[in-house]
Chain A
């Protein structure tokens, strides 16, 4: 008889999750916004029987992971999803039980144990997904389900007593504006740096000397810490805006969006230019020679041959750049650039951790979504070319 191989990664993750649920507080109760909450362990909330009962499916999943095969992985992922779907509703029940009707300011929070569990759950789903060799479409469906199952209770009001939601409600308008601003800033940075990168890559291909100096400059920019770069841009931009009233009217100042956008473009240029250059440079010269020899015009060669062959690597560059810019744009809030980072720094200033989360969680979600979308796009582009590679 063939013994199913045990998946030690999964088993380890699951044991860690079990231990966390047994030992670490999963929820907090705060009388108001600022005061530190009181922690509650799962056992304190559910009692010993409830604790064991709620962990039973998880132990079953651990046993399945020990004797894993394809069908058992499917069962495991279902169990993981059940836990994932049920935590907001559990939180809601906890809030109803603990907060009495009169207590306007009281709120519940996600405890450290639950954060760890959620993180471990996502890692486990990732592991199972690779083991099952899920196709792209399947992955998309899975992660959409994961996102929707959390988004629904958040928007439906079930979690109104959660501190994070309270912070959101207190800042709803600001949040929408910050989200839009963050997206716009990152989008503009990516579009501009892509345009510049393509132009530079094309220029570098025709002028050999240019190549080394451009990459040298871009690498130096890359090594400057982000806050220092913002600082470096402060003086020249302030001077520019004082010299040219038109620029000042446009909002170009030493602080604000202008230095943030410039710095983000500076950071984006290296990965974007490098990928674009490598993509265009690695195309077989025989192919372009044949294309010219068949009577394709320069434009046709570029759009029908060079670009499609280079596209997967260029999209990869866009992906790296976008994810990096989404994170860096948060830091830009420090120089008044706005965006989701504003909540992070406000929250730090007010010692209101849930306000920090209001900024941090959407940034992470945005980065993950963009990463997935662009990896998918790169894979689609590569399919046409991949047939090509021997």
Chain B
């Protein structure tokens, strides 16, 4: 029942995945075996419980399905669009032994949209009779933590440096993969729980965090994600070399003033974000889009589905190569030259392990370079780090209960795991909320 990728939709920035109709949803849910100890539910990091909501759909309890999703996973609507389900819930689906797995993300989207269309009552408001908690960063991890704490009747305030909630899914995940209404639905649910979000509030030092603790917040959850893109020295100083964070943000929010018609784009990197950048460039009208990676084709970290999408969009893959020089006119890059490479030692995917292959030099003409080679936490984290133990590169070190080295300060999401998925961030937020609850029940921090 999964619809094939439609390049036309992407060109129009319409959602790639078509929604299920009622008929689709009934048929799909009736393929479900309603397994005992549902493996799909065990396969969801955030505990969204697909086994339960699919059963609810099958038995025509659509609103019940919508309730299950949002009370278990405050980002349930977003997840229906962006979760790599073939590696999570659908991977575990028992039906796979017989035929195609159940289209779980499709059913998840169906249920949330049904709830919205038929006026599902808002989530209960937190009574706020328990303590005050501060959360820094309103992305998936922060929202997951806030929702769970509100459910436990805490008084939650989220401090967010931007003017909107959502983190990476809002600013960076392309619209053709995640339409805005999906995000709005989840943010509205969070707001209905009585969570207070303070926008435009940048928490920039460990002192600020400590002040919060003395200002009456009984615990703090840091979920600031990764906001510093890695850059390569060879591209610094040029006016047409961007990192993927700012590139994707431009595409999403300033597309009208960001015309790539007839331009050639080089994307450096081979992961999911590189593909998102390349496909976005194409969707903005680019002429040739190159995807240049050190990894060989079969080693690309991006999912098979994403690679398939890029191929459908005629992205030119130059796998197993390294850019050696930048050709520029003053401050503007006009071309790149490189060679093919092979690994000196197998299985070590790092630039220092790459050996250039004689006689494979190539050059391409480019108008824009997008670097998509990874991210690390923002600089402000380094300031936290004076007191906060980190694992290097600003990644905050936490225990299995998401406690940092400062009592009463917890952290989770990309800023602790180094960058994984939305659903993993929600899981960590929820787990941290449970730890915060236990911590406060045991008397909180002594100061």
Does A pair with B?
no
